[in-house]
Structure 1
Amino acid sequence: MKRFLHLMGWRANATSHLEKWLSAIGALCAIAVIYAVTHWLLPSEAALWVVASMGASAVLLFAVPHGALSQPWAVLGGQVLSALVGVTCQKLLPDHPFTPALAVGIAILVMHYARCIHPPGGATALAAVSGGPAIAALGFHYVLSPVLLNVVLILAVAVLFNGLFPWRRYPAPLARLPEAPRLPSGPAPEDLYHALRKMDSFIDVQFDDLLKILQLAQRHAQSQRLGLDDILLGACYSNAQSGNAWAVRQVIDDHPGKRTRQDQLIYKVVAGAGKGNTGSCRRQDLLNWAAHAVIAQGDGWVRVTPQDSASNALLRQLKGETPRP
């Protein structure tokens, strides 16, 4: 089941309940305005198509306000250019069975080259072709009203609503730009940019957001640094290295009641490079090697406090899952 959920894209969601509710309330306000204006300009049957397209835009603008697909040019260019493509295809190939597919395909191509990928644009292009007589009768007027008008309205609501909350400021450049992390052991901003280029795929994340995530992660890592008193009997420690250098060691014996730099302890490699081997070293040497304490969870390892790691080891021993040291 875990592998199936992973394949389906089921992931942990780190957003708070407040953030989820704000996303819903923001979209509610925006669509209320769009719905009113659209039904004032168009018959209800035609209006449903436009509202559906803008509803998809609302998900991006209010649930993912800092995403690359949600920025003003992506919304404006994606919607308007796609509307132009859809109307043009309908004019050139009216009522042809292939016209809807052609309109969506060309719309995606145009959005790529115009650097304004916005998924709801595909729905806007499709609506121009298969939206019925009311949409077809508008011709190129469809691009200006309702599409352009609705885009201006939804962007205005997004700027005003998201601007009320410091962490949701929209567009993304209005948010405070994070300072570039300067830890010598961590990747530089240029390395992140290189990694994005090597992926050769459209990633819905702003470069500044990546820097902020890296900065927060490194601050958290600094706050979790281990001390001599954190090297505990039974606890497991990871060196946090990448590739074949990664390993997890468990302390299986130490000097009772003594936690100095020079006292000796015995460890066992329980995962990664050298798994199954045992060794001995000074407490200070293990402290220098270890990045953080971990416990086994499923098929992997997660970071915890040394106390939690030691308690987990004791619990497993009591259950007979691991031998006592």
Structure 2
Amino acid sequence: MSRSPALGWLASFLPAPVTVKWHERARSCLGALLGIAFTGGLMYLLLGPVANIPLLVAPMGASAVLLFAVPASPLAQPWSIIGGSLVSATVGVTCAMLIGDPTLAAALAVALSISDMFALRCVHPPSGAVALTAVLGGPVIHALGYRFVLEPIAIQSAALLFAALVYHAATGHRYPHAGRQDRATPSQAADEAARVGFTREDVKAVLGRRDALLDIDTDDLYSLLRETQLQAFSRSFNELRCEDVMSRHVVSVSPGTRADFVDRRSFGALGPILNYFDGWLRGDALRTSNVGSVMTVDVCTVAPTDPITELVPMFANFGHHHIPVLDRAGRVVGMITQVDLISGLYRQTATRAREAA
């Protein structure tokens, strides 16, 4: 029995299933609680209980949703919240001063704020509410004039952002969620395309042809596409083992290796500088730490004989870019990256095609 067009249209309003795990939902809620409490408490300490400035403005609640619930969104990044809030506050105050009709002033304030946020690359949806607050906030807000941009908007936006930075760092969550600015050479890009099938530039080109703004970072979309490719390929090649795709020539160090040696290898001339500031921040600039004191020990590993299907959730769910391969004695015998996995699957596909021919 076919469904009527009306029922199909109503069904489109149903929400999609939420795939966020419960512990991540709880982490987001706790972060928002602490962030708003910190922002309001800071305003109270700075202004006192009888201030004529709101201790919290409503748009901060919407910003908290982005900063703590969807921190990977390009709309939730530091420049978005600070730039978007300041621009919209300035536009809103200006419209409130120059236009007598509040409805027209509010409409122009939101429209001009969106235009300016696009131009300055700081689109932040709650900032539209900032512009409305400047116009419709009443006599208390209007009396502040351009002071509204600094107090409360700039202070509250900065306080909420600071709380988000600290909270995400304390809970092991990557924020700011800035994309990796890889500067691949033409030969590296060609090699990536040959092994993976597409490059980041391909993804950027496709996004550039779309009319709508997609709320996802280019690198995140690229990673999702690669992980989807991995999942689809690995489902068809269960006979492949990790030893078939791993890189065998792996540079390794012992826990006692000096960390500044690793820094020099990884960052060139910046290594000694990074090592010095690392020690200085910990109050011990004169002592050189070793690898064992700064390394991460809780990592995912695989055995050479593990099927490659074990790798996909590690890359997808844990954010790993390199998976160590350990033998029975616990020694590193190889390393697998997403590109290694895709390259191995591609070679296997080519082999099957030749055999079929």
Give the TM-score normalised by structure 2: 0.57
Question: 1:65·1:171 contact (CA, 8 Å) conserved in 2?
Answer: yes
Contact 2:179 2:219 in 1 (8 A): no
SS of the equivalent of 1:8 reads: coil
The 1:227–1:23 alpha-carbon spacing in structure 2 relative to 1, beyond 3 Å, is closer
Which residue number in structure 2 is paired with residue 305 of structure 1? none
Q: Which runs of 4+ in 1 moved over 4 A?
A: 42-46, 174-177, 179-185
Q: State the distance in 2 between where 1:27 and 1:88 align.
A: 31
Residue of structure 1 equivalent to 2:263? none
Name stretches of at least 5 consecutive residues in structure 2 with no aligned partner.
240-351
Classify the secondary structure of the residue corresponding to 1:203. coil
Q: SS where residue 68 of structure 2 aligns?
A: helix
Higher percent of residues as helix: 2
Instruction: Evaluate the alpha carbon distance shift between residue 183 and residue 25 of structure 1 in structure 2; reply closer, same or farther with a 3 A threshold.
Output: farther
Bigger drift between 85-94 and 186-195 goes to 186-195
Give yes or no for the alignment of 1:36 onto 2:41. Answer: yes
SS at 1:199's partner residue? Answer: coil
Is it true that 1:83 corresponds to 2:89 in the alignment? Answer: yes
Following superposition, the deviation at residue 14 of structure 1 comes to 2.0
Deviation at 1:217, TM superposition (A): 1.9
Moved more, 157-166 or 123-132: 157-166
1:222 and 2:227 are equivalent in the alignment = no
Change (3 A) 1:188 1:171: same
Task: From the CA coordinates, give the structure whose radius of gyration is larger.
Answer: 1
Shift of the alpha carbon at 1:103? 1.1
Shift of 1:73: 0.8
What amino acid is aligned across from residue 198 of structure 2 in structure 1? P
Deviation at 1:164, TM superposition (A): 2.6
CA–CA distance in structure 1, aligned partners of residues 160 and 100 of structure 2:
30
What is the rounded CA distance, in whole Å, between the counterparts of 1:32 and 1:107 in structure 2? 28
The structure with the largest strand share of the pair is: 1
In the alignment, which residue of structure 2 is the partner of 1:18? Answer: 23
RMSD: 3.1
1:62 corresponds to: 68
- The reply to whether residue 193 of structure 1 matches residue 200 of structure 2 is no
The CA distance in 1 between the partners of 2:25 and 2:203, in whole Å, is 29
SS in 2 for 1:195: helix
Count of paired positions: 228
Q: Is the alpha carbon distance of 1:153 and 1:227 closer, same or farther for their aligned partners in structure 2, counting shifts above 3 Å?
A: closer
Q: Mapping of 1:1-325 within 5 angstroms?
A: 3-4=8-9, 7-8=12-13, 10-38=15-43, 41=47, 47=54, 50-94=56-100, 96-166=102-172, 168-173=173-178, 184=195, 186-226=197-237
Deviation at 1:3, TM superposition (A): 3.8
Partners of 1:122 and 1:103 in 2: CA distance:
8
Q: Residue 205 of structure 2 aligns to which amino acid in structure 1?
A: H
Structure 2 Cα separation of the partners of residues 45 and 26 of structure 1: 28
1:171 is displaced (CA, Å) by 0.6
Alpha-carbon deviation of 1:219? 2.6
Checking the alignment, whether the CA contact within 8 Å between 1:35 and 1:51 is kept in structure 2 is: no
Instruction: Report if aligned partners of 2:53, 2:152 keep a CA contact under 8 Å in 1.
Output: no
Contact 1:73–1:116, Cα closer than 8 Å, also in 2: yes
Q: What per-residue deviation string (whole Å, max 9, x for no partner) do you get for residues 61-93 of structure 1? A: 111111110011111111010000011111112
Which structure 1 residue ranges, 5 or more long, are not aligned?
229-286, 289-325
Q: Distance in 2 between matches of 1:29 and 1:176?
A: 32
